[in-house]
């Protein structure tokens, strides 16, 4: 059975705006800038197959729709299980260092201010290998989701 990233409770919170910053992508909307250290950012839980201290904050968009930008924070020294996303991911590491292994590729080390691209439906796993938490900006092309490989296969 597939385990979607946005669980029913989190989906309800996201859709009602509890985790969203004010602006959605619309014609004529104002420009915006968000500091990842802003104490007003609302961080919510990650999927249950990630570490309990993993957090996500929606920066722009609606996670149930295409083109959503999020911050992803993963605890220092912790690994994450193999999973995949329906969408490609466009990633910029803001803080920390990660080692990430994509299916059929060598492990890559990505550090702060590095750009990374994760293809749609490509299985991957890894760890935050720094002494500080890893913080990533992730732009999703499709609605935000994550599926644990132990639960299902990317087809």
Domain ranges of the chain: 8-23+41-148
Nearest to 113 by CA among 36, 57, 43, 53: 36
Q: What is the pLDDT of residue 34?
A: 87
Nearest to 36 by CA among 76, 71, 63: 71
Nearest to 45 by CA among 19, 84, 15, 27: 19
Q: Decide: helix, strand or coil at residue 126.
A: strand
Assigned architecture for domain 8-23+41-148: Sandwich (2.60)
Q: What is the pLDDT of residue 37?
A: 87
Euclidean distance between CA atoms 19 and 43, whole angstroms = 7
Q: What is the pLDDT of residue 114?
A: 94
Sheet (strand 89-95) strand order: 44-45, 55-60, 68-74, 134-140, 89-95, 115-118
pLDDT, one tens digit for every residue, the chain (155 residues): 333 333 333 333 333 333 444 444 456 778 889 888 899 999 999 999 999 999 999 999 999 999 999 999 999 999 999 999 999 999 999 999 999 999 999 999 999 999 999 999 999 999 999 999 999 999 999 999 999 998 555 55
């Amino acid at each position: 059975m597939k385990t979607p990233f946005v669980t029913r409770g989190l989906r309800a919170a996201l859709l009602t705006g509890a985790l969203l910053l004010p602006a959605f992508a619309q014609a004529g909307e104002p420009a915006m800038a968000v500091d990842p250290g802003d104490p007003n950012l609302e961080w919510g839980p990650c999927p249950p197959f990630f570490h309990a201290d993993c957090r996500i904050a929606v920066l722009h968009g609606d996670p149930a729709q295409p083109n959503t930008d999020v911050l992803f924070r993963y605890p220092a020294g912790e690994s994450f299980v193999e999973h995949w996303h329906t969408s490609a991911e466009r990633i910029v590491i803001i803080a920390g260092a990660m080692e990430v292994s994509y299916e059929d590729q060598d492990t890559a080390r990505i550090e702060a201010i590095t750009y990374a691209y994760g293809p749609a439906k490509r299985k991957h796993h890894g760890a935050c290998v720094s002494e500080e938490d890893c913080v990533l900006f992730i732009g999703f092309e499709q609605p935000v989701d994550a599926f644990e490989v132990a639960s299902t296969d990317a087809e």
